[in-house]
Amino acid sequence: MVFSGLMLLLVGVGGCEDARSTIEIRPRASLADEEGLGGMMLRVGSDTYVPADFSPDDTGLIELSRPVPNSGMLEFGIELRQQGITVTEGAFSLEMHRNFEWGMDIFRQVADPTELCFGCAGVQKFEISAEHQNQPGEAIWVTWGGQQRGSGIVY
């Protein structure tokens, strides 16, 4: 079976002890279009998610919310496929924290999204091969941030 679109692999090292930490993953490009993030396949540990698994939150933003480990490193691998061809791929990891709320956004654009991001703790850029860019310099950008649950800060 061939998937086209974006594949994001999340593998936790360490148990999901009491699973009080969570992550909300929000795609910031179309999930219905290969020129966006269409055909996205997302792996979180041994679980696999497709665009139909994402749903609107209370404000209408499309997201996927799930528990993550309270400690250890969470490894991320990303692959973007269009018409059966890998157009970008890479990996990074984040150190998990107990009782934490994580937010992660996935963009397909030219500009660095952290310039307009309040509360972003990090960013990773994945270059898209030139022949598959919608505009010169386009890339996949993954931004993230987080806070202790109940801190009262809203981003």
Tens digits of residue pLDDT in 114-131:
988 888 899 999 999 999
Q: What is the pLDDT of residue 39?
A: 61
Q: Is residue 31 part of a domain?
A: yes
Q: Is residue 139 part of a domain?
A: yes
Q: How sure is the predictor about 132, in pLDDT bands with cuts at 50, 70 and 90?
A: very high
**What average pLDDT does the structure give for the chain?**
80
Confidence check: pLDDT of 46 > 80: no
Query: What pLDDT digit, counting tens, does each position of 84-115 carry?
Result: 888 888 888 889 999 999 999 999 999 999 98
Q: What is the pLDDT of residue 91?
A: 81
Q: Is residue 155 part of a domain?
A: no
**Mean pLDDT calculated for residue range 8-36:** 69
Q: Are strands 47-49 and 41-44 parallel, antiparallel or unpaired?
A: antiparallel
Sign of the torsion formed by the C-alpha atoms of 95, 107, 132 and 31: positive
80, 138 in Cβ contact below 8 A? Answer: no
Q: What is the pLDDT of residue 54?
A: 85
Look up tokens 């996935």; give the residue: 106
Indicate the number of domains in the chain. 1
Q: Is residue 153 part of a domain?
A: no
Q: Is residue 154 part of a domain?
A: no
What is the domain extent for residue 128? 5-148
**Alpha carbon distance 10, 8 (integer Å):** 7
pTM for the model: 0.82
Q: Are strands 62-68 and 73-82 parallel, antiparallel or unpaired?
A: unpaired
Query: What pLDDT digit, counting tens, does each position of 52-70 carry?
Result: 788 887 787 888 888 988 9
